[in-house]
Amino acid sequence: MASIGSNSSVQEADVAASRADIVVGLVSYNDVGTIGAVARALRDGSTRYFPSSAVKFVLADAGSTDGTREAAREVVGPSALVEVKYESGPALGALAYHGYPARAEALRAILEAAQRLGAKACAVVDGGIQALGPQWIEQLVAPVLTDGIDYVSPYYLRPVNEGALTRSIVYPMFRALYGVRLRQPAASEFGCSGRLVTQYLAADFWDLEQVSVGIDLWLAVAAASGEFRICEAALGPRVAAARGTAADLGTTIAQVVGALFTDMEHRVDFWQRVRGSAAIPVFGTASPIVPDAPSMNTDALMESFALGYRELREIWTWVLPPRAIVELRKLTESGPDRFRFDDRLWASIVYDFALGYNLRVMPHDHLLRSLTPLYTGWLASFVLEMRGATLEQIEQRVEQVCRGFESEKRHLISGWRWPERLR
Amino acid sequence: MWAQVDRILRQATSQTVDQIANFLPGVLVSLTLVLTTFVVAIFARVLVMRALRGLEVDRRAEQWGLAAAMAWPTPTSLSQTIARVVYWTILILGLLVSLTALNATIPSRLALSVFEYLPNLLAALMILFVGTIVARFLARSVLIGAVNMQIQSARLLSLAAKWLVQLVAVAMALDHLSIGRSILLLAFSILFGGIVLAAALAVGLGGREVVGRVLERQFRETPRGDDSVKHV
């Protein structure tokens, strides 16, 4: 595996001269349009909610050329801003789904700065967020300082067209594997305690090949699988500016689901012992108004699924049992009114792909990308079912999906322990 | 005269018997060699099989993704394939050596020429093997990529990619074996030149509108439907 190492260097004079109770990490890359507003909201929030705490802003910029750093300096001021430099490396390979080059190195540099500053709490925020309120800093940091929470995960209000991959695979599988009902485990923002910062920096995932795409998820997993207290912070809707050309769906699935499957291989002993899942506290109350979702072309999604079934069925048989293939065939023959992906079927399909990933039945990239049409099928089914649904109804539906994953977990454990039975 | 006939007959018989007597040990040695080779080949096969199983080669090959890259699912494992190759190599070499023991000019020359040709043959086989792996890998990549791009003729593209690479591998292997070099070159020039010319004519003259419609249907008329979706 390729090692990325760490080459962060905090401005030593600044660090030595002061210490901080709270560190606010800003991750940016050509975000001149948003970084000023983000920094201002965070600065105002820290002044309003933590007037007696020493707050430092740590900027990890991936080499912006549009004046992002200057804009951040102007708002925060030189006394409160620490800029960290790190090895961002050449932009080779596929673009990361989050559109941020060397994100893992940036996060590591922020965490190292937080440790050196002796921070009790650290919050990380993406510099590309639009419409960020001052209360965000309170929501991400206050649970750590006042309630002894170690990891604060954001909970965003998302309409049906947002976070489908999280709702269909990442959250249900994360919950079934690690027993924690963390609804958005791959979010870019988070808050954490100084204790967890130390744990993060000692973790072994920084040298893994997929760290730049999997880091957000892996930080959540590290918190969930350790002896740490976790909560969610209701932050309302999340609107982020597009950062460069977005990765295509196949690449996004390969990166996000690949990161999840890779992590599974490293924590086998832990997740095989976990049974069921536990709810976690939610801090704050966000506006119940969910932004309207634009209409989606479900016919095209279903067609994409049908094309996948027609052409990739042969590849799917490498990992899926005949029963699943028969169910998928029935689905291709259904009209929009009856097109519904059964939750347990979906869970068993994802688990079978995880087993195939572990057994290396074919190159990982092929296996993960071949999941794309199945995901579009699930998405079509979900959108058809959730037309006009409220946020609560969407949450209830996702809850059912999660139960499907929890009840099928025994199939995953048995396949993992006795892979020969699958053949 | 009868005496002369009798002498010639005796002489012929004696020569034949002598030749048979000279030839028989060679046949005997040859048969012994064949039998020994057969036994050695079986032993080697069993030994190789056990050694590879002991080293868990099949499991390691799966871990490295080698087994997956080699072929679509087959009933034979990697260790079985290697053991078979060892078995047949020993058997063929033994048969060739046994031919030289016959002390006959043609079989000996045949054996020698085969031995001289062997490196080329092995290189050609290696080219074919690698070509096949690359062709299958590429075919699957193209198929999955094309399906994810909503291209209706994904299978056709995949097959085209596969056979293109496979044909190039076969041509390289044959070239290495010095078989029909000029014909091969000519055939390839005609084939690829023909394909390019036909495509150019189809697009430029005959079916410009048809091709335009087909391309439009492939790339524009089937949007995925997730344009407004934020997946993660």
Give the closest of B64, B148, B230 to A250, CB-based: B148
pLDDT of chain B along its 232 residues, tens only?
788 888 888 898 888 888 888 778 888 888 898 999 999 999 999 999 999 888 888 877 766 656 655 554 455 778 888 899 899 989 988 888 888 777 666 667 777 777 788 888 889 989 998 999 899 999 999 999 999 998 989 999 999 999 989 988 988 888 888 887 777 778 878 887 888 888 788 777 766 777 777 767 666 545 555 666 788 8
ipTM: 0.87
CB contact (8 A) between residue B226 and residue A312: no
Mean of the pLDDT values across residues A126-131?
90
Q: Does B75 touch chain A (CB under 8 A)?
A: no
* B77 and B159 within one domain: no
Confidence band of A215 (pLDDT split at 50, 70, 90): very high
Q: What is the pLDDT of residue B97?
A: 83
pLDDT by residue (tens digit) across A332-369? 999 888 999 999 999 999 999 999 999 888 899 999 99
Give how far Cα A353 sits from Cα of A327, A349, B178, Å: 16, 6, 46
* 3-state SS class at A239: strand
- pLDDT surpassing 80 at residue A421: no
Return the residue in B144, B162, B222 with the most chain A beta carbons within 10 A, the one to mutate for interface testing: B144
Q: What is the pLDDT of residues A55-106, one digit of tens each?
A: 999 999 998 899 999 999 999 988 899 999 887 765 555 578 888 888 999 9
Q: Which two tokens stand for residue A111?
A: 């965490």
A291 secondary structure, DSSP code: P
Report the C-alpha dihedral over residues A66, A70, A71, A73, rounded to 10 degrees: 160
Contact A114, A57 (CB under 8 A): no
Backbone dihedral region of A158: left (phi > 0), alpha (psi from -120 to 50 degrees) or beta? beta
Task: Using CA coordinates, name the residue in chain B closest to A164.
Answer: B231
User: In this predicted structure, what is the pLDDT of residue A7?
Assistant: 45
Residue A20 confidence (pLDDT): 92
Is B228 within 8 Å of chain A by CB?
yes
Q: How far is B65 from chain A (nearest CA, A)?
A: 6
Return the number of other C-beta atoms located less than 10 Å from residue A237's C-beta: 15
Q: Is pLDDT above 80 for A246?
A: no
Report the C-alpha gap between A317 and A69 in whole angstroms.
51
Residue pair A99/A246 in contact (Cβ under 8 Å)? The answer is yes
Q: By three-state DSSP, how is residue A27 classified?
A: strand
Residue B73 near chain A (CB below 8 Å)? yes
Q: Which chain B residue lies closest to A311 (C-alpha atoms)?
A: B155
Cβ(A102)–Cβ(A5) below 8 Å:
no
The CATH 3.90.550.10 portion of chain A extends over 9-283
∠ CA B180-B183-B189 to the nearest 5 degrees? 135
* Side chain identity at residue A395, one-letter code: E
Subunit contact B69:A363, Cβ cutoff 8 A: yes
Q: Residue A113's pLDDT band (boundaries 50, 70, 90)?
A: very high
The answer to whether A306 and A334 are in contact (CB under 8 A) is no
Of B140, B223, B231, the CB nearest to A366: B140
* A297 burial via Cβ count (<10 Å: 0-12, 13-18, 19+): middle
pLDDT at A16 over 70: no
Examine residue B114 and state whether it is found in any structural domain, yes or no: no
**C-beta of residue A402 within 8 angstroms of C-beta of residue A176:** yes
Other beta carbons less than 10 A from residue B72's beta carbon? 12
Q: Looking at the complex, does the CB of residue B145 fall below 8 Å from at least one CB of chain A?
A: yes
The SS3 assignment for A37 reads helix
Closest CB from A163, A312, A366 relative to B232: A163
- Cα–Cα distance list, A381 to A166, A305, A308, B218 (Å): 15, 11, 15, 24
Phi-psi map region of A276: left, alpha, beta (phi>0 left; psi -120 to 50 alpha): left
Instruction: Read off the DSSP letter of residue A209.
Output: T
Contact assessment for residue A83 and residue A25, using Cβ atoms and an 8 Å cutoff: no
Cα(B17)–Cα(B10) distance, rounded to whole angstroms? 10
Q: Which amino acid is at B138?
A: L
Residues recorded for chain B: 232
Q: For chain A, what is the mean pLDDT?
A: 90
* Residues B189 and B145 grouped into a single domain: no
Asked if A363's CB is within 8 angstroms of B68's CB, the reply is yes
pLDDT at B181: 74
Q: What is the 3-state secondary structure (H, E, C) of A144-166?
A: HHHHCCCEEEEEECCCCCECHHH
Residue A126 and residue A193: Cα distance in Å, rounded? 18
Nearest beta carbon to residue A318 from set B73, B146, B150: B73
Closest-CA distance, A126 to chain B, in angstroms, reads 15
- Same domain (yes/no): B47, B78: yes
Read off the DSSP letter of residue A208.
S
Residues B83 and B20 in one domain: yes
DSSP E strands, A270-364: 282-283
Quote the tokens at residue A68: 């992002």
- Separation CA A189–CA A136 (nearest Å): 10
- pLDDT confidence of residue A392: 87
- DSSP element (H, E) containing A74: helix A68-76
pLDDT at A104: 94
Task: Flag if A165 and B231 touch (Cβ within 8 Å).
Answer: yes
B162 in the same domain as B79 = no
**Distance in angstroms (rounded) separating the CA atoms of residues A323 and B80:** 30
Q: Between chains, do A163 and B231 touch, taking CB under 8 Å as contact?
A: yes
A193 CB-side CA count, 13 A: 18
Q: What is the pLDDT of residues A320-332, one digit of tens each?
A: 999 999 999 999 9
User: Residue A1: pLDDT above 70?
Assistant: no
Domain boundary among B103, B136, B151: B103
A129-130 and A121-126 beta bridge pairing: unpaired
Q: How many domains does chain B have?
A: 3
User: Any bridge partners for residue A125, and if so which?
Assistant: A26
Q: Cβ contact (<8 Å) for B226 and A376?
A: yes
Look at strands A151-156 and A190-193 and give their pairing. antiparallel
Nearest C-alpha in A relative to B156: A311
Residue of B nearest to A420 (CA): B59
Confidence category of residue A310, pLDDT binned at 50, 70, 90: very high
Interface membership of B153 toward A (CB under 8 Å): no
Type and span of the H or E element at A381: helix A372-385
This prediction has a pTM of: 0.82
Q: Are A356 and A362 in contact (CB under 8 A)?
A: yes
Cβ-contact B127, B168 below 8 angstroms = no
CA distance A252 to A355: 20
pLDDT of residue A172: 97
Select from B53, B69, B103 the last residue of a domain. B103
Mutate which of A311, A355, A358 to test chain B, going by most B C-beta atoms within 10 A?
A311
pLDDT of amino acid A3: 36
Q: Is B98 exposed, middle or buried (0-12, 13-18, 19+ CB in 10 A)?
A: buried
What is the count of residue pairs from A and B with beta carbons less than 8 Å apart? 111
Question: Does B231 reach chain A within 8 Å, measured CB to CB?
Answer: yes
Q: Do A294 and B228 touch (CB under 8 A)?
A: yes
d(CA A167, CA A160): 10
Query: Residue B113: what pLDDT?
Result: 79
Residue B186 phi, psi dihedral angles, 5° rounding: -65, -45
Using a CB–CB cutoff of 8 Å, tell me whether B56 touches chain A. Answer: no
Is pLDDT above 80 for A291? no
Of the candidates A166, A300, A318, the beta carbon closest to that of B232 is on A166
Residue A69 · residue A59 · CB < 8 Å: yes
Please give the pLDDT value at position A4: 37
Option in A166, A301, A361 nearest B226 (CB): A301
Same domain, B137 and B211: no
Q: Say if the Cβ atoms of B150 and A307 lie within 8 Å.
A: yes
Contact in structure between A166 and A394 (CB atoms under 8 Å)? no
Range of the domain at B168: 122-179
Residues B155 and B95 reside in one and the same domain: no
CA angle A325, A331, A336 (to 5 degrees): 165
Residues pairing with A26 in the sheet: A59, A125
What letter does residue A131 receive in the DSSP assignment? S
Instruction: Report which of A135, A143, A94, A141 is spatially closest to residue A122, judged by C-alpha positions.
Output: A141
Instruction: Give the residue on A whose Cα is nearest the Cα of B223.
Output: A300
Q: According to the CATH classification, is domain A9-283 in 3.90.550.10?
A: yes
Q: Are A50 and A22 in contact (CB under 8 A)?
A: yes
* Pair (B99, B137) in one structural domain: no
Residue of A162, A170, A301 lying closest to B225 (CB–CB): A301
Work out the percent of chain A whose per-residue pLDDT is above 70.
91
Partner-chain contact A311 B226, CB within 8 Å: no
Predicted confidence (pLDDT) per residue in A161-201, tens digit: 889 999 999 999 999 999 999 999 999 999 999 999 999 99
Q: Does B150 touch chain A (CB under 8 A)?
A: yes
Judged by phi (left if over 0) then psi (alpha if -120 to 50, else beta), residue A284 lies in: left
Q: Which tokens sit at A112? A: 């190292």
